[in-house]
C-alpha cells in the first residue's frame, strides 16, 4: 500500500494544481447531485401530466424509498458515466501532448509505475463517485423515509459497488483509447462513436449470449433498470440484483485493458 502511494504521489502533484481538472470535477459532481436530488420531483411531474391525459392511472414511483434507492440512483447516475471517462482521456493525453510521460521515464519512472499511478487514479475516481451517489441516496432517503432506517443495509446496497465497477470499466476503456491514440480530440471522438453507435450496433446484431460480453454492454448491465410499480402493472419484471456474470466480464475487460495499455507503453517510442 505504501509503495502504491509513493507511485501515485507524482500523479497527485500533477493534478492538485490542475485547475481545469478540479473545475470539471466540480461541475460533474454538482450536476450529479442536483440530478439525483431532483429525480423524485421530475418523475412526479411526469406522472401527474400523464395521468391527466390517460384513462389508465400510472402509480407514483418512490425513488428514495429504502432499499430501492440504491438501485434507482445508481441506474440514473450511470447516464453520466461518460464524464469521468472524459476526465481520464484529458489527463492521459496531456501526458503525450506536453511530453510529461517522456520526462518521467527519463528521470527514472518506469512504464509500469506510470500505468499503476493512472490505474490508482481511476480507482480513486470510481470509488469517490460511487461514495457521492451513496451519500446522496442516504440523505435523500432519510429526509423522506426517516422511519425506514433498518432497510438501509440490504443486499441492494451492493449496487453502489456495482456502480463503482461500472465507472471503472468505462474509464479503463477510455484510458486504453487515450494511450493508443494519444490525442484528446481524436480519442473523445472514437470513444463517443464506439460507445454510442458501434457497440450498440454490435449488441443489436450479435446474439444476446455473445453481445453481453462487449465491455460497455457488460458495464451497463451491472445496474439493471429498476423494477418499478409501473412495470409491475404491465406484468414486466426486471432484475433487482447485479449478475455475477456481468461482474466477471467487467473485471475481465479491466484486466484486458491494463495488459493492452502496458504492452503499448512497452512497445511505443515515447
Q: Within 10 A of 27 (CB to CB), how many other CB atoms are there?
A: 11
> Which residue bears the cell 459532481?
29
Residue pair 230/145 in contact (Cβ under 8 Å)? The answer is no
The 10s digit of each residue's pLDDT in 205-250 is 999 889 999 999 999 999 998 876 655 555 555 678 899 999 999 9
Mean pLDDT of 4-32: 93
Q: Which residues contact 39 (CB under 8 A, 6 or more apart)?
A: 63, 72, 73, 76
The residue that leads in pLDDT, 4 or 96, is 96
Cβ partners under 8 Å of residue 78, min gap 6: 163, 166, 220, 223
Q: How many CB atoms lie within 10 A of CB 245?
A: 12
Q: What is the pLDDT of residue 167?
A: 99
| pLDDT score, position 2 | 78
**Using CA atoms, how far apart are residues 72 and 223, in angstroms rounded to an integer?**
9
Burial of 3 (0-12, 13-18, 19+ CB in 10 A): exposed
Q: Which residues contact 5 (CB under 8 A, 6 or more apart)?
A: none
Global pTM reads: 0.94
- Mean pLDDT, to the nearest integer, of 157-174? 98
Query: C-alpha grid cell for residue 120?
Result: 490508482
CA 84-85-90 angle, to 5 degrees, is 95
Picking from 41-45, 158-162, 169-173, 264-268, which range would have the lowest pLDDT averaged per residue?
41-45
Measured distance CA(240)–CA(156) in Å, rounded: 8
Length of the chain: 270
Please, which pLDDT band fits residue 141 given cuts at 50, 70 and 90?
very high
- Residue ranges per structural domain of the chain: 2-42+60-267
**Digit-coded pLDDT (tens) for 98-120:** 999 989 888 888 999 999 999 99
Amino acid at each position: 500500500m505504501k509503495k502504491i502511494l509513493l507511485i501515485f504521489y507524482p500523479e497527485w502533484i500533477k493534478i492538485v494544481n490542475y485547475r481545469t481538472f478540479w473545475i470539471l470535477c466540480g461541475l460533474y459532481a454538482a450536476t450529479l447531485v442536483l440530478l439525483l436530488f431532483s429525480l423524485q420531483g421530475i418523475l412526479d411531474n411526469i406522472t401527474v401530466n400523464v395521468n391527466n391525459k390517460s384513462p389508465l392511472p400510472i402509480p407514483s414511483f418512490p425513488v428514495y424509498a429504502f432499499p430501492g434507492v440504491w438501485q434507482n440512483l445508481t441506474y440514473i447516475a450511470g447516464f453520466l458515466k461518460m464524464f469521468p471517462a472524459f476526465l481520464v482521456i484529458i489527463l492521459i493525453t496531456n501526458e503525450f501532448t506536453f511530453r510529461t510521460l517522456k520526462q518521467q521515464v527519463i528521470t527514472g519512472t518506469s512504464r509500469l509505475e506510470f500505468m499503476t499511478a493512472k490505474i490508482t487514479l481511476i480507482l480513486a475516481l470510481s470509488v469517490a463517485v460511487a461514495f457521492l451517489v451513496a451519500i446522496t441516496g442516504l440523505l435523500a432517503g432519510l429526509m423522506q423515509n426517516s422511519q425506514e432506517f433498518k432497510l438501509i443495509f440490504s443486499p441492494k446496497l451492493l449496487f453502489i459497488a456495482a456502480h463503482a465497477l461500472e465507472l471503472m470499466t468505462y474509464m479503463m476503456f477510455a484510458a486504453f483509447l487515450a494511450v493508443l491514440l494519444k490525442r484528446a480530440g481524436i480519442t473523445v471522438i472514437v470513444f463517443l462513436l464506439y460507445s454510442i453507435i458501434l457497440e450498440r450496433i454490435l449488441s443489436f446484431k450479435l446474439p444476446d449470449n455473445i453481445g453481453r460480453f462487449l465491455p460497455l454492454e457488460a458495464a451497463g448491465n451491472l445496474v439493471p433498470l429498476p423494477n418499478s410499480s409501473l412495470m409491475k402493472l404491465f406484468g414486466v419484471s426486471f432484475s433487482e440484483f447485479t449478475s455475477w456474470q456481468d461482474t466477471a466480464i467487467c473485471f475481465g475487460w479491466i484486466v484486458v485493458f491494463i495488459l493492452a495499455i502496458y504492452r503499448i507503453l512497452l512497445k511505443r517510442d515515447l
